[in-house]
Amino acid sequence: MDLSFIKGDDNVACAALIVCELPDFEVVYEDITMVPLTVPYIPGFLGFREAPSLVDAFFRLCDTQPSLVPECLLVDGNGALHPRGFGLASHIGVLCDIPTVGVAKNLYHMDGIVRDDDHKQKISQLCKPGDHFALDTSAGETLGLALKTSASSTKPVYVSVGHKISLVTAAWIVCHCSKFRIPEPVRQADVRSREFIRKHKEHQELNKT
């Protein structure tokens, strides 16, 4: 039920697609691969850098385990909460033709949406999982939500529409997938890709001498 991405070094990263099954988020499929990166990281253009490898992983899932293709992807990055309204989650949704939700761990500043004192004040008002507030542009358009996902975290996650889903539904899904701050499918993709990178580096060390 997800997708994520981890960086190895400058030219190679680790793409991870994890499928979790309810009710306990048991991992029933994982596709973790080292991928070469040719496009640099430029804020605002993350989709062009990371979407291709992740879309590849999704199509591998479609080919090999069609019965495990989820109804929705949770993407580590923004969707509509983006300077041009089209972040990584939007790229993946369109290319894979599947509903996607953007889940960012940090706020990406843009027109009228900044981590100022007002924003910090609103965060401090969030008290229980599910509490949230809208992220509105200076023109009054809601691009996403700051959502508290776990009782023990001060920091919210930033949820936005990726593709073929409403913001309310997106927030509902993120909320119900969260044991900790980061929704479990994204967290598993994160944990497992780090682990993969660690083993990969060990393997490289052995081959040196």
Partner DNA sequence: GCGACAG
Partner DNA sequence: ATCTTGTCGC
Kindly tell me which residue out of 65, 106, 134, 180 binds DNA, with binding defined by CB under 7 A: 106
Question: What minimum distance in Å lies between the beta carbon of 63 and DNA?
Answer: 25
Interface pick for DNA out of 3, 17, 52, 82 (rule CB under 7 A): 82
Which residues is 25 bridged to in the sheet? none
Cβ distance to DNA smaller for residue 41 or 59? 41
Residue from 146, 107, 108 nearest 126 by CA: 146
Identify the residue among 53, 78, 100, 149 touching DNA (CB under 7 A): 78
Q: How many residues bind DNA (CB under 7 A)?
A: 26
Q: Which of residues 22-41 bind DNA (CB under 7 A)?
A: 41
Q: Which is nearer to DNA, 63 or 116 (CB)?
A: 116
Using DSSP's 3-state secondary structure scheme, residue 66 falls into helix
- Residue 5 is a binding residue for DNA (CB under 7 A): yes
The neighbour count for residue 208, using CB atoms within 10 Å, is 5
Nearer to DNA, 107 or 161 (CB): 107
Closer residue to DNA, CB minimum distance, 19 or 49: 49
Pairing of strands 100-104, 26-36: unpaired
Strands 73-76 and 2-7: parallel
* 15 touching DNA, by CB under 7 A: no
Answer yes or no whether residue 16 interacts with DNA by CB under 7 A: no
Given 105, 119, 155, 176, the residue binding DNA (CB under 7 A): 105
CB of 96 to DNA, least distance (A): 16
State the DSSP H helix or E strand holding residue 199, giving kind and residue range, or none if neither: helix 184-208
CA distances from 54 to 46, 49, 93 (A): 12, 10, 11
CB of residue 62 to DNA, shortest distance in Å:
23
Structure tokens that stand for 41 in this block: 């990281």
Question: What DSSP line would sit under 129-193, residue for residue?
Answer: TT-EEEEE-TTS-EEEEEE---TT-SS-EEEEEEESS-HHHHHHHHHHT-SSSS-HHHHHHHHHH
**Residue 7 interacting with DNA (CB under 7 A):** yes
For residue 45, state whether it binds DNA (rule: CB under 7 A). yes
Which amino acid is residue 3, in one-letter code?
Answer: L
Binding footprint of DNA on the chain (CB under 7 A): 4-7, 41, 43-47, 76-78, 82, 87-89, 102, 104-109, 194, 197
